[in-house]
Structure 1
Amino acid sequence: MKIKLGILAALLAGSFGAAGGPAGDCGLAQAEWKLGTHSRLEERDGKRLLVVEVPEKDRNGSYLSRAEIDLSPFRGLPTTFSMRVRIDGIEKEAGRKGIKFMVTYQAPSGAGIWHGGWGIYGPADWRSVSFLSPIDDYTGKAELVLGVEKNFGKVEFDLDSFRAENHFDLDQSSARAVYTDRVLKEKRLRGVMSPGGNMTEDDFRTLREWGANLVRFQMQRLYQDCTDLDAYGRWLKGRLDHFEKLTEIAPRYGIRLILDLHSAPGGRRSDSAELLMLHSEEYAQYFVRIWEEIARRFKGNPAVFAYDLVNEPYQTGAARFDYLELQKRAAEAIRRIDPEVPIIVEANQLAAPVAFRYFRLLELPNIVYQAHMYVPESFTHQNTPGSRYPGVISGIEWNKEQLRHTLEPVRRFQQRHRARIYIGEFSAKTWAPGAERYIADCISLFEEYGWDWSYHAFREARSWNVELEGTQEKTVPSADNPRKKALLEGLGKNLVTP
């Protein structure tokens, strides 16, 4: 798709505004450090540095230093933590971890709560790294944890550059979402994410047998392949051509389609997952123009339920274009072409439920609000191998009621604004002990709250495919397993529910 860059910069530059909340170093300047092995403090050019230098022979260890900080000014607030680092070595390779930039504190239950940055690796000259985490409302004393884990090389942390800031206002609005009959009379939607590639008519036949009435079709491309807009446009045209064919097949099987822009123009930063289009006028303009072209192409197509503007947005702090404002601009562009097609916007932090605490209602008709449910990732992604559900995971008892607690910000948003909620993705890895119970409990809550949902994912990676079972080392085809049964029981509600 060839996109011309228009004069959208002035329109796009607007945002919901900085929250104007607390900011500072949380008392780090006066803190005493508990230094880990291979770590030292230095004064250089007027700066205080923490230097961690790990020789290759010690590459398998964990070398962490800690200092007490005060997070009480940030209680209950989404908080951005940032600092500057310089890295020599500590490269990203299979089996290696990397640089640790984390904040930790203790929950009233005694469980340790950890917040941290995305994968940070070198080499790199001085640059800023950051992460965003909503801080619990009981938080006071905490620790800043810096270092290197299971890797080797040298990293310098500029301690004077450490900063915590609140950029996002909490949702205080009582405005109500507006829906026309096109949405109000739409039946409940229960289905799956598509595979990453093409779909066949046999796929739709199978999904109909399972009871699905929805496919979220993901247009997915490697993030590093999203920077060249000419190549990106050619790829996108091919995906839209295939999607158009699916709009002819899906109605034969009673299945509605959501068009999901799974990979945004520009891709993401490797060290934070932040969307690059939030910092680039060229990518941001291209994003809006994409949706104008799509809206014209598919206007009036009855197979299309909705447009999903961008998968899992992530904005850590101040940005040229706010993650939600940019989605709003795309939605407004669509509305000028198609006044009624439902439009799906996603919450920040990869559509995390907790981000609904500061999600905002868009003052446009027929907007659907999307969350993804992979909490706790220690279990769903098996980041803590062998962790099981239900059970104690990272010091917290995880069961259906804890899942309910996790989803509470989404539920409050729904009730406050009378908004339509869609869980676009949820899952647990094939080999996660208790995955079938996790899937069943999630679906039970979605049903209780009246939310649409789609399982991640149909005939995609073996990590999520319910037609496989086994271990991380080996999976085999499985026509009947507990995970698949849990999913089909949920999809079967389409066969009995109006």
Structure 2
Amino acid sequence: MIKRSVGLVVAACGLLLTACLPADAAPPSALPQRLKVSGAQVLDPQGHPIVLRGYNWGQWGTVQPEDGADNAAAGANSVRIPLRWWGEWKEDVDSRDPDAPGHIDPAHLALLDQTIARAVDKHLWVTLFVDSDYGQGAGGRPDNFWSNPAMKQQFVEVWQFLAHRYRTVPYMGAYEILPEPKPIGVDDDGVRAFYDSIIPVIRRIDARIPVIVGPNDNYNLKHLPGAHTTIDPNVIYTGNYFIFDNTLSRIPDILDFRQRFDAPVWINQVGIPSGNPDSRAKARSVLGAFAENDIGWAWWTYRISGSNPDTHGIYYLSPDGWVVKPEWLKLVNSFL
């Protein structure tokens, strides 16, 4: 089903994005407004503080035409969107094509264009992340962006391509360079140096868009201080907050980092499997703490391609189509 959806968007995508996608170059007067980091806050284009809250559209190929409008109507102001590149996932979602422009398969790129267009059309600030199970060193894979210079260079060229492509697209909120790094034998300084090497690549193309970086050890918030960079001030910091028994144990890590470095923290993934004991109570506790402390977040996830209603996801996919979990939709929407 997901393979088929990728193919179907190719013909339609050009029409959909006629008004959205940039030419190769644009004068400064044509550039859209962007978010900006100021101390520990993110500011909207009018200079007002904005706390980014919304959903992950994290399962590739699952986004439906109504999702942008539904998210915005619920109160979301942002959405996190993936490009899966160089990895091995449950579905055939690897977008890498070393011979294509930007090293991205054209059908996958068309679907990415369509997904972004559905968000920006409803004025949702888009966080675009490029995921790579192989490149980040997931599962102890030794061949990664730290150990394979040729693959790192391809990854750099992916970001060059994407930054050019979306330079004049409105409501591009931030570029999350590489989620959940866990390279073998690389410490926090090494992970930070990796991000520091790619931030200037993006800056040479789009000098204004915030970039997002996170800590070593799969975005472990305990490692957050090690992610702090001095190479660029327009940086948002992130980490995972999958909800376990000690539901609020990581809130101090976020607040301590924010105060110590005067820098914003936004949680790229917060979530809990629906079938876990006391899952809704735990979710309310965490989302309530985020609200109390002005911590932005993206819920994992909006739609999940699996058929098990007890895992993550506000919607799951049954043999008869998408099924909503109404109690979860109400709960998460109440914190947007």
* TM-score tier after normalising by the smaller chain length: 0.7 to 0.9
> Which residue does the alignment assign to 2:57?
194
Contact 1:223–1:268, Cα closer than 8 Å, also in 2: no
For structure 2, the residue ranges without an aligned partner over 5 or more in a row are 1-38
| 1:429 pairs with 2:273 | yes
Map residues 139-178 of structure 1 onto 2, 5 A cutoff.
none
**Aligned with residue 372 of structure 1, among 212, 235, 240:** 240
> Which residue does the alignment assign to 2:23?
none
Instruction: State the secondary structure of the residue aligned to 2:173.
Output: strand
Residue type of the alignment partner of 2:182: Y
Q: Shift of residue 343 of structure 1?
A: 0.6
Change (3 A) 1:267 1:413: closer
Q: Shift of residue 468 of structure 1?
A: 5.3
Change (3 A) 1:229 1:326: farther
> Which residue does the alignment assign to 1:464?
312
RMSD: 3.2
Change (3 A) 1:316 1:484: same
Deviations 1:82-120 (A, max 9, x none): xxxxxxxxxxxxxxxxxxxxxxxxxxxxxxxxxxxxxxx
> Which residue does the alignment assign to 1:418?
262
Q: Shift of residue 235 of structure 1?
A: 4.2
Instruction: State the secondary structure of the residue aligned to 2:288.
Output: helix
For structure 1, the residue ranges without an aligned partner over 5 or more in a row are 1-175, 377-397, 470-475, 492-498
> Which residue does the alignment assign to 2:292?
448
In 2, the alpha carbon distance for the partners of 1:267 and 1:318 equals 11
In 2, the alpha carbon distance for the partners of 1:286 and 1:262 equals 13
Deviations 1:131-163 (A, max 9, x none): xxxxxxxxxxxxxxxxxxxxxxxxxxxxxxxxx
| 1:208 pairs with 2:64 | no
Change (3 A) 1:312 1:408: same
> Which residue does the alignment assign to 1:480?
326
- For normalisation by structure 1, the TM-score amounts to 0.51
Residue type of the alignment partner of 1:325: A
Contact 2:56–2:300, Cα closer than 8 Å, also in 1: yes
Residue type of the alignment partner of 1:308: E
| 1:330 pairs with 2:198 | yes
In 1, the alpha carbon distance for the partners of 2:53 and 2:183 equals 29
Which structure has the highest strand share of the two? Answer: 1
- For normalisation by structure 2, the TM-score amounts to 0.74
Change (3 A) 1:292 1:430: same
How many equivalent residue pairs?
A: 284
Instruction: State the secondary structure of the residue aligned to 1:230.
Output: coil
Map residues 131-280 of structure 1 onto 2, 5 A cutoff.
182=45, 185=48, 187-198=50-61, 199-220=63-84, 223-224=87-88, 230=98, 235-263=104-132, 266=135, 268-270=137-139, 272=140, 276-280=144-148
> Which residue does the alignment assign to 1:342?
210
Contact 2:84–2:95, Cα closer than 8 Å, also in 1: no
Q: Percent identity?
A: 19
Q: Which segment drifts farther, 247-256 or 340-349?
A: 247-256
Q: Which fold has the larger relative contact order, with Cα–Cα distance below 8 Å and residues 6 or more apart in sequence? A: 2
